[in-house]
Amino acid sequence: MGPDDSASIGVDDIRDAAVVVADVIKHTPVVASLSLTHRAGGEVVLKAENLQVTGAFKIRGATNKLATLQRRGTLAGVTAASAGNHALALASAAQAAHVPCEIFVPIGAPITKIEAAQKFGAVIHEVAPSLEDALALAVTLSEESGYVLCHPYDDPAVIAGQGTLGLELLDDIDDLATVVVPLGGGGLASGIAIAVKSARPQVRVVGVQTAACAPYAGGTPRSGPIATLADGIAVKHPGIVTGPLVEQWLDEVVTVDEEAIADAMVLLMDRAKLYVEGAGAVGVAALLSGTVVPAASGTTCVVLSGGNVDLGVVPGLIRRHETSAGRRLVVFAKIDDRPGGLAQLLAVFGAAGANLVAVEHLREGVNLHVRETEVHCTFEVRGHDHAVTIIDAAKAAGYDDVRVDSPVR
């Protein structure tokens, strides 16, 4: 891979963008990850772009785009269709540039992101049933008012802004060997690749897509809503500008599944103490699943592109992790349907060290004696071995028909 004179953007554009965005963005830290280094088998660090202004890398491109527009003359305003990080970035950049901003979002878009964009002074129109409809309304506003429609990735000024992250990697990692970066529309991945490989062509750059939506990895074009934890990179078609750049500059494109993304999000919370959204965690997912192997020598850097996690997702991630780690025990047991029957069962589990989380009586659809009931109980335990000990204690106490609905080895 290497530079091409026909490319619509070059490293000089990225260097110019770095000057423009310097007073707005954070130079985010590169964080060592002993856990990933040990598990993946190579030196791994994390570029914590989830700590960026507005919680994601997109502020880089939005800031450079606004500056480019203002250099061309008076700017009436900017508009876009988005329900995520692009909306936040454009709203923040517009506020800093003292430019009006109106964003169209689909009905039901995350209220936290809507409120955050409003705090940056953007006018939010939640009137469209889908993102495609929101885009049509943004186009109409642009045509009628003179507001400039700002694309989230398919724009040279935006790509140059995102590429400033690559310049930071060159500054911060002397032995950089591999960069693993989320790949959605392609603005971030291509910008980083141009910046890094123009200076060190031997560095390998790998883009990671969610298997649920992977047009750059040969996935079938999708229509309608896409259910994925990595919704921020669920872009259905390669960009007109970014498509050729991704093909030219990236060394490889891989995909990861939902299970790997969930594992990566939890590992980052648990071990790295970093709150990273699904789209931002796909690079870690690729390392954990073995889809990407770290460089044999030198440092592999994984870009954590954003941290705007939907809070409603977190409890499910934690429950899933606790269950797979053997720290949640789900059991079904028949007990006497008399006063004290449930207390006796729970006393057995409590004495064995299990902590009750939830209990539910099940009387419908179960073959029971008229004086019996079945209960569905969830307990916190210390691990698989502890769970086995608890079940043995329950059976020894006479609960021979206790059934387990969670992995106990």
Q: Which amino acid is residue 270, in one-letter code?
A: D
CB distance 103 to 124 below 8 Å: yes
CB distance 87 to 105 below 8 Å: yes
Task: State the CB neighbour count (10 A cutoff) for residue 314.
Answer: 14
11-57+155-316 with 328-404: one CATH topology?
no
CB distance 62 to 93 below 8 Å: yes
Which residues, in sequence order, are CB contacts of 393 under 8 Å at separation 6+? 348, 349, 351, 352
pLDDT band at residue 407, thresholds of 50, 70 and 90? low
The angle at the Cα of 179, spanning 160 to 196, to the nearest 5 degrees, equals: 40
The domain 328-404: what is its CATH number? 3.30.70.260
Rounded CA gap, 45 and 165, in Å? 15
CB distance 118 to 338 below 8 Å: no
| CB-neighbour burial class of residue 340 (10 A; exposed 0-12, middle 13-18, buried 19+) | exposed
pLDDT band at residue 405, thresholds of 50, 70 and 90? confident
Q: Which amino acid is residue 128, in one-letter code?
A: A
Q: Which residues of 186-200 are buried (b: 16+ CB within 10 A; e: fewer)?
A: bbbbbbbbbbbbbee
The CATH architecture of the domain made up of 77-146 is: 3-Layer(aba) Sandwich (3.40)
Give me the pLDDT at residue 274, please.
96
Give me the pLDDT at residue 111, please.
80
Give me the pLDDT at residue 380, please.
92
The domains of the chain are located at 11-57+155-316, 77-146, 328-404
According to DSSP, the β-strands at 372-380 and 403-404 are unpaired
Task: State the CB neighbour count (10 A cutoff) for residue 129.
Answer: 10
pLDDT band at residue 139, thresholds of 50, 70 and 90? very high
Coarse DSSP helix, strand, coil percentages of the chain, rounded to the nearest 5 percent: 45, 20, 35
Least reliable range by pLDDT among 200-204, 211-215, 366-370: 366-370
pLDDT band at residue 229, thresholds of 50, 70 and 90? very high
Q: Which amino acid is residue 131, in one-letter code?
A: L
Q: Is 43 helix (H, G, I), strand (E, B) or coil?
A: coil
Give me the pLDDT at residue 8, please.
76
Q: Which of 124-138, 220-234, 383-397 has the highest mean pLDDT?
A: 383-397
Chain segment 5-50, per-residue pLDDT in tens: 334 799 999 999 999 999 999 999 999 999 999 999 999 999 999 9
Chain segment 361-383, per-residue pLDDT in tens: 887 656 767 678 889 999 999 98
Taking CB atoms within 8 Å and a gap of at least 24, the contacts of 110-119 are: 110/83, 110/84, 110/310, 112/308, 112/310, 112/311, 113/83, 113/84, 113/87, 113/88, 113/308, 114/83, 116/54, 116/88, 116/91, 117/87, 117/88, 117/91, 118/91
Q: Which residue has the higher pLDDT, 224 or 355?
A: 355
Instruction: Tell me the Ramachandran region of residue 98: left when phi exceeds 0, alpha when psi lies from -120 to 50, beta otherwise.
Output: left
Q: What is the mean pLDDT of the chain?
A: 91
The domain 11-57+155-316: what is its CATH number? 3.40.50.1100
- Of the candidates 160, 82, 87, the residue with the CA atom closest to the CA atom of residue 120: 87
pLDDT band at residue 4, thresholds of 50, 70 and 90? very low
